[in-house]
Amino acid sequence: MIRDVRRWTSPVVAGVLATASVALVNPLTSGDAGPGAGGHPVVRNVIFINGDGMAAAHREAARLYYAGLGGQLVMDGFPVSGQLTTSPDDPEDVVTDSAAGASAWATGVATYNGAISVDTAGNPLPTLGAQAKAAGKATGLVTTAQVTDASPAAFFSNAVDRAAQDDIARQYLQVSKPDVILGGGEDWWLPAGSPGAYPDQPPEDPTEGSRGTKGDLIAQARADGYRYVSTPAQLAAAGRGKLLGLFANQEMFQQRPEGQGDVYAPVVDLATMARKALATLSADRDGFFLLIEEEGVDEFAHNNNGSRTLQAMGELEKAVAVAKQFAATHRDTLVVVTGDHETGGLAVEDVNAADESGTGTSAEDGPFPVRGSDKSFVIDWTTTAHTGQDVPVTAYGPLAGRFTGKHPNTYVYDVLQPLLTR
């Protein structure tokens, strides 16, 4: 029997579709930016978007829910598509975590789970973010996770253990120096006993609280010329220049099963952060590299929370639309959308009371409506962990065609590194 879940109604539906209808105008082919040296299209800006934990079934569930049977997500409407494998180089595991997955993108080297851009012997590797910065480009990261969580960390730091988030924050300021840092994770920037804009031990999660061991890194960021913001109004008022925005103690949501304190209501939504980052970074005449990540897809899928997984997918879709709109008017911009791994073993199924549904991790979520029809679907889960599925990659802009075919996840580095360092 299909179990009932708490239904939610979100304004994201209309917002995503309205934004997508604008963003789908004037799709680019791989050569539309015009020739550069050697006759190759020019890529001045790269926007790399990670739907953490997102694979093909997550995208299909979101398509049905937000666009309907005949509709299409913005991310799926990109003119180029391919696949990426996700296997780590781990002594025990064949399924990747976010750290190894993002490290493969950022360095071109497969490594062990928990590694942040170090090889299997723990040696630090050059990262895309640091190399782009050294080449004179502006750089930035936007995430609904902690800004020092595994995926953004892999592009801008090195650590033998992803848990070293306070040292990762220190490296941002002292080593890789991204120009824009927006997301959650204030706790890692302040020493224990020194709460910042977000109080320690909040009622929604009493385990949260400042825990850094590297001193007051927010004060250091200000001394280094960053403007620090912690509210939507402050973010909106921030002018051009280096920008640090921390909008939660940890992640910008509460990741739990349905009805057990699960909350997805970021202080600032992903699309707004992405729009601000693009406005700031695009002032650099040498171009920029921007990482955008929606962490909620992964975290809610870990909790087999179909409603919130769909909500996070909707927020990711809005951010993709922002990136595509930017690229449509900045024809030297390459946009790439993918996921670091699959989470939950998600399957999209018909509503069928006779079908096996099970309990616990094999239970079904739903039914969820298919937009614009009288049909519905359920989401079935097989695990609360990651799986080894390939992930789709879609691309838009000059040289997008390089992402056709099936490749290892290290291939992302092979394509992007020459574009960001020339």
As a whole number of angstroms, the distance between CA 381 and CA 385 comes to 10
Residue 181: which of 222, 136, 127, 237 has the closest Cα?
222
Query: What is each CA distance from 25 to 20, 63, 327, in whole angstroms?
Result: 9, 19, 11
Q: Is 149 annotated as a binding residue?
A: yes
At residue 360, the 3 state secondary structure works out as: helix
φ and ψ at residue 58, rounded to 5 degrees: -60, -40
Residue 64 tokens, joined? 């049905």
Residues 397 and 333 sit within 8 Å (Cβ to Cβ): yes
198 contacts: CB under 8 Å, gap ≥ 6: 186, 208, 230, 246, 247, 248, 249
Q: What is the 3 state secondary structure string of 208-230?
A: CCCCECCCCHHHHHHHCCCEEEC
Q: Is 302 annotated as a binding residue?
A: yes
Residues 137 and 287 sit within 8 Å (Cβ to Cβ): yes
As a whole number of angstroms, the distance between CA 84 and CA 86 comes to 6
Q: Is 52 annotated as a binding residue?
A: yes
Q: Is 161 annotated as a binding residue?
A: no
Of the candidates 30, 87, 98, 230, the residue annotated as catalytic is 98
**Amino acid identity for residue 178 in this structure:** P
Q: Is 407 annotated as a binding residue?
A: no
- Catalytic, 157? Answer no
Q: At what angle do helices 306-329 and 12-23 cross, to 10 degrees?
A: 30
Binding residues for Mg(2+): 52, 149, 151, 293
Binding residues: 52, 149, 151, 293, 298, 302, 340-341, 386
What residues act catalytically? 98
Binding residues for Zn(2+): 52, 298, 302, 340-341, 386
